[in-house]
Structure formats: structure tokens, C-alpha cells
Structure 1
Amino acid sequence: MASSPATTNPVAAQPSQLTLAEKNPDEHIMRVPTEDGFLKTTLPRIAGVVPVAAFFIVINEFCERFAYYGGSGVFQNYVSARRPQKPGSLGHPQSDATALSNFFTFFAYATPLLGAVVADQYLGKFKTILYFSMIYLAGFLLLTITSIPTGHDDIGLAIYSGAAFPGYVISLIVIGVGTGGIKSVVSPMCADQVPQQVYTVTKNGKQYIVDPDLTVQHLYNWFYWSINVGAMIGQYVCTRLETNDGGAFWQAFLLPTCMFVLSIAIFLLGYKRYVHVPPGGSVILEAWRCMRYGQIRRKADPAAVQVPAGTNFGFLEWSKPIPGESPEESGKRTWSDKFPQELRQTLKACSIFPLMSIYWVCYSQITNNLVSQAGQMNCAWNGKDGSAMPNDLVSILDPIALVLLIPIFDAGVYPFLTRHKIEFGYIKRITLGFLLGALAMAYAAITQQLIYNRGPNFDYSNFDPDTAAQAYNDISVYVQFPAYVLIALSEIFASIGSLEYSYTHAPKNMKCFVSALALLPNAVSSLIGLFLSPAAKDPSLTWMYAGTGIAAFFSSILFWFMFRRFDDEDRVLKANAVANENGGGSIADGDAPYNNKAAEAMAEAEDRVHVR
């Protein structure tokens, strides 16, 4: 820090760092000069204290995810065929329930682009979240009211009115609009609460740089944790409620409705603490205009710009100022000169998304087909006989596994790899996630074949209208558990890895845009699942799981060969950035071995990754 004279900066001069001062009153805080956002120093970097305002949003997200996963977790049983020893339902076959589940997921993950446009161009993040939350709540109210039974049959199962199924379908659309409008906005608003000042602190006699980007990563760990804790508790409680009163699902829907009211109340409580970023025009619409302009201009005058072969999204070069252009051409550009380059970075970051749709087809099985698979198995708590767990409670294993595994990887596995100089980049992590997803589907296929082979329901029917003595095949539901653990592991690598890659590689003013695009593979996977839903029936379920696993396996190979160079490019860019901070030295793409200066920079860059 000798080259940059530091002055003590009183906390009063940094109101946005008040939370830091309250929690760490003994820390010595100094402002650090920056240039274009890059700190010219070699001090190690750490995450700062997360402001209280952000935790209002984190708690809000916990309640919202409780409602979403708690309510949607019982959809499969609510729609699918009635079983004598399970809750009553609307009497539709498994294929219908799976198709509707896939439609709901598709709709919920296709509408975030709508929320991003509304927030960026019209209402801002706070009002967008609030208004779409009201729509969300209306959907849950409709679902709760239409699921109130009109009576019970001879064996005590709930009977529903003719409005139950239409009410369910309409509520899926309304809830889908509500959750979609929130999804692409809530995480960027949460990150907005993190102060963007770069400063140093002294802890135990050693100086550190508090890096806003690392603070955002630390905040997102809490954010993702809250999602999974909310999902875990919501799924458990709601699946227990669905068995009450002969399968009165309205109780399982009323609790999420109440939790969503609490979610809105908590969100409003933090209003005065929030950093409110006003709408500045839709980046999505601006990006579309920029891309369209570049394509039209390249077609009209392809010789105006010389673009090296192999340049990603080279048509964006025609969206920049070109020498000799007419005033009419320059007047059509409403974006800055840097915007086309920023858009190229964003599109490159998002280029990994299309293949991610195949991974999400594997993941989506835990919310529909694997729930029905558990319904064909012996769900007794002791694995033999006696009291049984609800079949849709088994899906709670995914958030439980994530809540347990994420801290292990964050605090143990990744730092271990870093200390031992084992490079484990984003593309390697995502590829491994693909393979684990394929392995989970292979295991599900084997489990399904065991169900078919164990009997006594060799005709694939779980319903005996005469005795109702044997509702399940003679295989314990505990056999299914490894599939959920494998899916959870795959999510740590593929899901978190892809979101982290796209977010960290997108320009700061396009985070909302990327957040919306990152959700589209889920929508595409649900559309694929919708077309595959006719195969979600006996006796073709074994091949349905096996086919999904095979597709994921070959997709992992294709993904690796298409994007494996991205990890190498990241290492070179990171090393160059640190070398430049230290006063020169760079690594040319393909140089081997690295020069000493660049090698030292690489080692320092690797050491910074997991400092907390």
C-alpha cells in the first residue's frame, strides 16, 4: 500500500458501511484508491459484512421458497390417481400429473424475462417484486379455496367439487406469473444492498482488502442456503398436512398461502433500509436492438469491419461506431460505445445455457416421476411395515442433502483443492454435475426395474378395488434415496457452477439480464419433459429414466468439448489481471511454460479465490 497513501476514513463518512462498524467496531477501516474498479495492490481479499437490508430479502426468499416448494411439492399427489392407503386426489393418471408439473415449471421459468423488463424499464426492483408478489398470493388463494373438499367417500377419502381441477390449472398459471416476475429480480436486488466501496481492514495485525464481489458471493451463499432450508421445511410440513382429514389438500395449500403473506410483510419491513436502484431502461430491449442493428448493418455492408475468424458474436462489431458512417446510421444507436463489447461478454457467458436444459431434465424428475416412483414402493418408516411416510416427502432429501453438503464443499473441499493447486474450473464442475445427473437417472432406472420385478403388483396396478390390502410392491423406499443424493451433488456442481459462471462473467449493468437468461434452461427442460410425459407410465418408466440418463451422459461429453477452453481462458485472464496489478507481465494464450512473473501472479490469484 506504499504506492497509495491511505487515510483513515471514519465510519460516519461511510454510512453504507454502518453495519460493518456495528459488528466489527475494533477494525481499522481505510479507503483504497481504485482505477476502473481494479485495485492496484497485492493484499489478500476477503468478503465484507453483509448489510442488514440484504437479510430482509434473504428471509423474504426463505418464506417465498417455503411457499413455492411446500405447495408445489404436493401437486403430484393432488392430481394423480387415488390410492386407498394414500391421500385422496383428483383422480387423473400419473402422465397427466407429470405433464402439468412440467408445464408449471416451464411457465415459472419462462416468465422471468417479463419481470426483468418490468423492473428495468418501468417499476424498479422493489415495486416489481411487490406487485408480482400480490399476483403470486392471489394464485395460492385460488388454489386453497378450490381444494376444499365437499365431503368424504365410504373409505374416508376427500371428495372434491368440479371446480377443483380447473381451479388448479388456473392457479398454476397465476402462480407461474407471480414467481416468474420475482425470480429474475430478487437476487439482483439482494446484491444491490452490498456497498460497492473497496477498502482495507486490519484483523489480528494483518491487512486485508474487503472486495465487494466476494461480499456478494458470500451473500449468495446465505441466499442459496435460505432457499434450500425453506424448501426442506416447506416440503416436510406440507406433505404431512396433505394426509389430514382423508387427504384434504387445502390444508397443505393454506400454509404456503400464510407463509407468502409473511414473506410480503418481511419484504415491506425493510423498505427504509434498502438501496433502491431506479429503473434505467430495459437492458434486454436495448440488447435486442443492439443485436438487430448489428445484423442488419453487417448484411448491408459486410466489408465495413474486419473481424478475425472465430470471433464469438462477431456481428456486434457492426453495432459499434464505424469510421465514415452517416449521421443517420450513428443516430440509430441508443447505446454506449462499450455496450456491444459488454453484450458480447454476456452472450459468451450465457452460451453454456442451452445444453444445461438436458441437465435440468434429470433434475426435474425429483418433483414428479420420482415422487410417483416412491408411491409404488413400501414407504414404511421402518422399511418393513407399520406407519408410512408420504411418498412425496421423499423429495425433501434433495434440500436436506444440499443444506449438509454445501458448507462442506464451501469450507472444506474447494479450499483443499486450492491449497493443493488442483485447478477445478467452472466447466469441469458443470461437466461433473452432468455426469452425476446421468448417474442418478441410471440408478432410478435400476430402481424402477427392481419395483417391477419384486411384485406383488406385476400388472403395475397399485389399486385393488376389492381388498385394498396391498398398495405397493415389496421394495423399501429407502432404496430410492441414493438417487436424491446424486442429484443434490450434481446440483452443487452443475446448477451453482453455471449460475456462478454466468454471473461473474457478465458486466455489472447486465446482471438482471443474465439472471433471467440463466432461468431459461429450466423452462426448456420442462418443455422437453412435457413432450416426454406420455412415456411417464408403466411399464415404460425404466426406459424413460434410462433414456434421460443416456442423454445427460452424451450431453456432458458434448459440453466438455464445446466449452473446455473457457477454463483455460479464465486462468489466463486472471493471471494477466494480477500481473498487471503488480506492474507488468502477462501470459500469452498458449504460452508454456509461463514466465516467472506470470507464474507468481497465477499463484497469488489462486490463493485469493477462497479467502474469507
Structure 2
Amino acid sequence: MSAETAVSVQKTKSKYPRSIPFIIGNEAAERFSFYGMRSILVIFLVNQFYNPTHNPALTTVAQAKANADTHFFVALAYSLPFVGGLVADWFTGKYRIILNISIVYCIGHLFLALFDNNLDMFTAGLVLIAIGAGGIKSCVSANVGDQFDASNQDLLSKVYGWFYFSINAGSVISTILIPWVYEAYGAKWAFGIPGVLMALATIIFFSGRKLYVRVPPAGVNKDNFVFISLYALFHAGQKQKGQSLLDVAKAKHDPEKVEGVKAVYRVIMVFFFALAFWAVWDQNLSEWVLQADTMNREINLGFTKFTMLAGQVQTFNPVFLLIFIPIFNYWIYPALDKMGLKTTPLRRLGFGLFLTALSFAIIAWIQSLIDHGAHPSIWWQILAYVVLSAAEVLVSITGLEYAYTHSPKSMKSTMTAIWLLVVALGNLITGAVNKNISNHGFLEKYMIGANYYWFFVGFVSIFTVAFMIISPRLKEHNYITAAEEGKIVADTNNL
């Protein structure tokens, strides 16, 4: 290579935007704060507010109250990204909403640390944290992409790899550390440290303010999912023979965008079945933690022996997830494809739902042992985490892939927001079940001990069977494949 060529290559070599370290540092600290707080939330609520005397007669109702509060909190946090994304895109831009809502987030953490003896104020803190976490969720990852242009697009996938690594790193570290802090130093420190990390996250983000590429708000876009759907609904009487209901909206809205909304509804049909997964997944951060508290948590590795805290067991989920993602992508999927068992997204989703039910069957069996006075090893729950983490790869990651490939470019952000709404709705269902139990409703006598988990095994199983029956009949349109085929046709015509 000549000196001139070397200089040319050096000049054209892609460079990372200088703003990226601030965004990734912000994300790692924010996720530490969120998952650290969550790691002890359900145990704290039971011990501090709902059953501080550890009265066995109050156990079922106290745990149901704590679980209900936790799932309603998560439901609120995952329903707000849709709102946060719209406000950012239409009115404020991403930078302003991330910074301003992060301050609300910090105040919420402060409430948890200060009001650990006041349920009303503590609950207010949870609401503020849900607003903070939900309000910025749809903006932070999109803000990463905004920092890149044509000169360094090739680095985008690497940066997102580091971005998601920071999420899991924050989760793993916090779920190991914060339960230990809670055990050793109490609730104020255990909730205070995540608050400090959220304040640090805000400071890191603010420190990069002069380096960010800021995409200005575009104003209200009326050719979106909400406006098109509402127009079609209120003008349903104008539907002509042979038209779909949404075709009515073409009279006022861009026909291409209306077709995009049709694609969104096709994907929502698939998302409906993922609802069963999200109704149970978050229980590994709440109900499973309470179960772990009653188990033998001694870990004997031969060369060392230690006892895990109940809140630390959930660390296995992100650990197994990081292990399974490359195993599925680079070994299991290709191996099955070579055997002629095509691993289509819908097949992955179906098997993922089956594994979800299986993981809860393990948990239900563990609980039945506990109900009969046994003290089973935590290794059995770790086995359930193995199965649930595999299910998460098959359902959650595949669901996001399906949403991306089966929606047009103009609707991809909408699909991500709707996916998060499915997470919220799943938690809302589980929260409602626990609320009914805590209020001595009709479910209480049927949901004692292991029966609680067997109920959700049945719940997921029904969705799994229905999905296997209906999925072959679902209409699919892969926009990525169609675009590639269109390009091939165009290139052929140009020969």
C-alpha cells in the first residue's frame, strides 16, 4: 500500500461520535438504578408495610399486595414510552425530554430513600420513577442512532452492542449489590444508592450536552397510527364493499401510511399471544424472589461455598440471557435450519411460549414442596431461570425482530411502542390477579401456594395452544424480504 493510499484510508476511517460515551454511561447508571431498586422492592413492601411482624396468617395477602403494587408499577413504566416518544417527536425533541424527565426520575428515587416508613409517599416515589423510566425509554435508544450519519453508519451496530451490554452490566451489578446492601445496611441505603446512580446518570447525560446531535421536533404528525385508526373508527359507515375498515381513512390520510397501519394491526395479532409471556415474565423479579426467600439458598461449588440472598437470584436471568443469545443465533438456529426445521419467527414464538409454561411448571413444583414443609435447593429455581431465559430469547427478541421486519419504515417506532404496551398490559393482568387476592376476592381461595403458579401455567398453556392453531393462518408480509426482492427485480430489469 502506498503512503498516499494509507493516508486516504486513514482519512475515510469511521469515527465514533464524541457524544457516545456520555449516552452509554448514562444508560448503564440508569439501568443500575432501576434494576437495583426493583431487586428489593417486593421483599421490602412485604417486610416493611404489609407483614412487618412476619405473621404466617398474613403471608398470602401481604405477598399479593406487594406483587400487585410491583406489577402495576411496571405496567405504568412500560405504558409511558408511547407517550414519551410522541412528546419528543412532536414537541420537545429527545434531549429535552430525557434531561427533564430524568430529574423527575431522581426525585422519585429520593422519595423511596426518605419515605421508607410512609407507604403513601413511597408509592408516590414509585409513580415518579415509573414516569421517569417510561418517559425516557423510547427516546434514549433512538438518541443513539441520531448521533450517526453516512460517514460512520458502519459503527452503529457495534455501538448498539455496547449500549445493550451497558444495560445488562447495570442490571447484573445492581441485582448482586443492592440486596446485600439492603440486608447489611437497611432500606435507606439500598434505595439511596440507586438514587445516587440515577443522579449520576443525569449528570453524565447533561455533561455531553454540547456534543449531541439534536433532531428537532417535527410537530404533530396526523398521518400516524392513532389518528388513522380513530378516523377509520369514526367513519366506519363510509366503508365500501370490498374495503377493509382502515381503507376508509385513505380519503383523508396518505394511502401508503394507511397500508402501514394495516401492517401494524397484523403484527398486533402476533403480539396478542406474546401477552401471555409478559403476564408472567416479570414475576421472576417479584413472585420468584419471594419464593427464593423460603428456599435453601446455599451454593456449594466445591472450591467455595456461600449463601445467596433472595434478591440476588434474579441475577441469573441477564447472565443466562447473555449466554443464550449467541448460542441460539450462531448454533441452535443454523443447526435446526440445516436439519430442515426452519426456525421462522412464528415457530420461535410458539416454542418460546411452551418454555415459558415449562419454567412456571418448575416453579409450581418447587412451591408444592415448600407448601408441604420442604426446603428445596435454590438450584431448582436456577433451572427455572435457565428455561425462562431461553424462552425470553425466543419470545422477546424474536418479537422485536418480527415487529421490525413486518412493519414498514414509517411504522417501526410505533411497533416498538406497542410492544412495550404489551409488556404493560401483561403486568396489568398479573397485577389485577394479585389485587383480587389481596382484597379477598373470588380468586383468593383458588390461588393459595402452588395453585397460584399452576394457574399461570394453565394461562400460558391456553395461549400456546391457541397460537399453534391460529399462527399458520396469520397473514404475513415481511417488508425486509419484499424490499430485497424488489431490489433484485429492479436490478434484473436494468441488465
TM-score, normalised to structure 1's length? 0.70
Aligned CA distance change for structure 1 residues 504 and 63 (closer, same or farther; 3 Å):
farther
- Mapping of residues 479-490 of structure 1, within 5 Å: 479-490=380-391
What is the deviation of 1:551?
A: 1.7
Tell me whether 1:368 sits opposite 2:286 in the alignment: yes
Tell me whether 1:446 sits opposite 2:365 in the alignment: yes
Q: Is the 8 A contact 2:35 2:174 kept in 1?
A: yes
What is the deviation of 1:537?
A: 9.4
Q: Is the 8 A contact 2:446 2:452 kept in 1?
A: no
Task: Give distance in 2, aligned partners of 1:49 and 1:408.
Answer: 30
Q: Is the 8 A contact 1:433 1:490 kept in 2?
A: yes
Which amino acid counterpart does residue 110 of structure 1 have in structure 2? S
Q: Is the 8 A contact 1:124 1:277 kept in 2?
A: yes
Which of 580, 595, 599 aligns to 2:489? It is 580
Task: Give distance in 2, aligned partners of 1:361 and 1:70.
Answer: 22
Task: Give distance in 2, aligned partners of 1:536 and 1:137.
Answer: 37
* Number of the residue aligned with 1:378: 296
Q: Is the 8 A contact 2:266 2:476 kept in 1?
A: no
What is the deviation of 1:516?
A: 1.8
Deviation digits for residues 304-332 of structure 1, max 9, x if unmatched? x743xxxxxx22222224xxxxxxxxxxx
- What's the secondary structure of 2:360's corresponding residue? helix
Aligned CA distance change for structure 1 residues 363 and 539 (closer, same or farther; 3 Å):
closer
- What's the secondary structure of 2:492's corresponding residue? coil
Which of 409, 413, 418 aligns to 1:517? It is 418
Q: Is the 8 A contact 1:61 1:223 kept in 2?
A: yes
What is the deviation of 1:350?
A: 3.3
Which amino acid counterpart does residue 558 of structure 1 have in structure 2? A
* Number of the residue aligned with 1:563: 471
Task: Give distance in 1, aligned partners of 2:221 and 2:475.
Answer: 27
The gaps in structure 2 that reach 5 residues or longer are 438-442
* Number of the residue aligned with 2:206: 268
Task: Give distance in 1, aligned partners of 2:205 and 2:429.
Answer: 35
Larger radius of gyration: 1
Aligned CA distance change for structure 1 residues 226 and 423 (closer, same or farther; 3 Å):
farther
- Mapping of residues 261-410 of structure 1, within 5 Å: 261-283=199-221, 286-299=224-237, 301-303=238-240, 306-307=242-243, 314-321=244-251, 333=252, 335-382=253-300, 388-410=307-329
Which amino acid counterpart does residue 390 of structure 1 have in structure 2? L
* Number of the residue aligned with 1:146: 115
Task: Give distance in 1, aligned partners of 2:70 and 2:417.
Answer: 21
- What's the secondary structure of 1:272's corresponding residue? coil
Task: Give distance in 2, aligned partners of 1:537 and 1:376.
Answer: 22
What is the deviation of 1:218?
A: 5.3
* Number of the residue aligned with 1:110: 79
Task: Give distance in 1, aligned partners of 2:105 and 2:331.
Answer: 38
Tell me whether 1:135 sits opposite 2:73 in the alignment: no
Task: Give distance in 2, aligned partners of 1:344 and 1:289.
Answer: 13
Which amino acid counterpart does residue 170 of structure 2 have in structure 1? G
Which amino acid counterpart does residue 176 of structure 2 have in structure 1? Y
What is the deviation of 1:76?
A: 1.2
Task: Give distance in 2, aligned partners of 1:127 and 1:389.
Answer: 41
TM-score, normalised to structure 2's length? 0.85
Q: Is the 8 A contact 2:279 2:427 kept in 1?
A: yes
What is the deviation of 1:236?
A: 0.7
Task: Give distance in 2, aligned partners of 1:504 and 1:242.
Answer: 43
Which amino acid counterpart does residue 375 of structure 1 have in structure 2? D
Task: Give distance in 1, aligned partners of 2:11 and 2:345.
Answer: 34
- What's the secondary structure of 1:93's corresponding residue? helix
Deviation digits for residues 458-481 of structure 1, max 9, x if unmatched? xxxxxxxxxxxxxxx432222211
- Mapping of residues 470-485 of structure 1, within 5 Å: 473-485=374-386
* Number of the residue aligned with 2:191: 253
- What's the secondary structure of 2:411's corresponding residue? helix
Q: Is the 8 A contact 2:225 2:414 kept in 1?
A: no
Out of 136-145 and 509-518, give the one that drifted further: 509-518
Task: Give distance in 1, aligned partners of 2:279 and 2:324.
Answer: 22
Q: Is the 8 A contact 1:74 1:392 kept in 2?
A: yes
* Number of the residue aligned with 1:233: 173
Task: Give distance in 1, aligned partners of 2:210 and 2:468.
Answer: 47
* Number of the residue aligned with 2:440: none
Which amino acid counterpart does residue 408 of structure 2 have in structure 1? P
Which of 59, 62, 80 aligns to 2:46? It is 80
Among all aligned residue pairs of Structure 1 and Structure 2, give the percentage whose two residues are the same amino acid: 28
Task: Kindly indicate which of the two structures has a greater share of residues assigned to helix.
Answer: 2
Deviation digits for residues 105-158 of structure 1, max 9, x if unmatched? 1111122222122112210111111111111110001111123xxxxxxxxxxx
What is the deviation of 1:273?
A: 3.3
